[in-house]
Amino acid sequence: MLRRHLRGMLLAPQPYMRRRPLSSERGYTLIEILVVVALIGVIAGIAVPVTSTSLNGYRFLGDGQALSQMVGLAKMRAAARSTRARLSVNVADGTFMMQTFDRSTSPGTWVTDIGEQYLSRGVTFSNGGFTAPPPYQDSTDFSDECADDAGSAIDGTSCITFNSRGLPVDADGLLEEEHAIYLTNGVGVYAITVMPTGQVRFYWSPAKGAHWTEQQ
């Protein structure tokens, strides 16, 4: 009798051995998927313009810094080689390069040390229509036109030139009190200026008003 009772207990289904029902395998509905896709589209629509604006701003800053550094390099190159050196920009084409004057030929030749560089898309050489100049400048005019090897002005260009003592000079090698290059992306304006002492300065202003702030 006892054996039969034990056998019945062993064969009886136990609660913990019962098979649990499978979890629901219901998938997402088409409406749920469309809602998620719509949310992703809205977020992307917000993020893309912000990212694009930031990238354009960084490129614009990079152009300004590149020009400022090239002006400083031209000043050092002139002193190191005991000759003249210059930043030459083509205002219409949006290009710039650095050149040094080779005195070994007669009457001398401008030699390109750093080849043509291009401004970023949407950036142009312009003072943004400002009439209020940066500090220590009397106007918002660009530096004088560059001169070719024969001394003739090159149309559509502007040059910041240094003599062997690192002082700003004009196309004839005479001391020049004002040198400036401007570039804009329509949102702001950068100005690279040179003081009569040869000190290079880098300024920025919002395009809606000439409020110049010196940059590092």
Asked whether residue 131 is assigned to any structural domain, the reply reads yes
Asked whether residue 22 is assigned to any structural domain, the reply reads no
Q: What is the pLDDT of residue 179?
A: 94
Asked whether residue 26 is assigned to any structural domain, the reply reads no
pLDDT-wise least confident of 116-120, 136-140, 170-174: 170-174
Asked whether residue 36 is assigned to any structural domain, the reply reads no
Q: Mean of the per-residue pLDDT values for the chain?
A: 85
Asked whether residue 162 is assigned to any structural domain, the reply reads yes
Number of domains in the chain: 1
CB-count exposure of residue 154 (10 Å: 0-12, 13-18, 19+): middle
CATH number of the domain bearing residue 159: 3.55.40.10
Q: Are 71 and 77 in contact (CB under 8 A)?
A: no
Q: What is the pLDDT of residue 4?
A: 55
- Name the residue range of residue 96's domain: 52-211
Q: What is the pLDDT of residue 7?
A: 53
As a whole-number percent, the residues of the chain with pLDDT over 70 amount to 80
Asked whether residue 216 is assigned to any structural domain, the reply reads no
Round the CA-based radius of gyration of the chain to a whole number and report it: 35
Asked whether residue 35 is assigned to any structural domain, the reply reads no
176-199 average pLDDT score: 94
Asked whether residue 16 is assigned to any structural domain, the reply reads no
26-46 average pLDDT score: 69
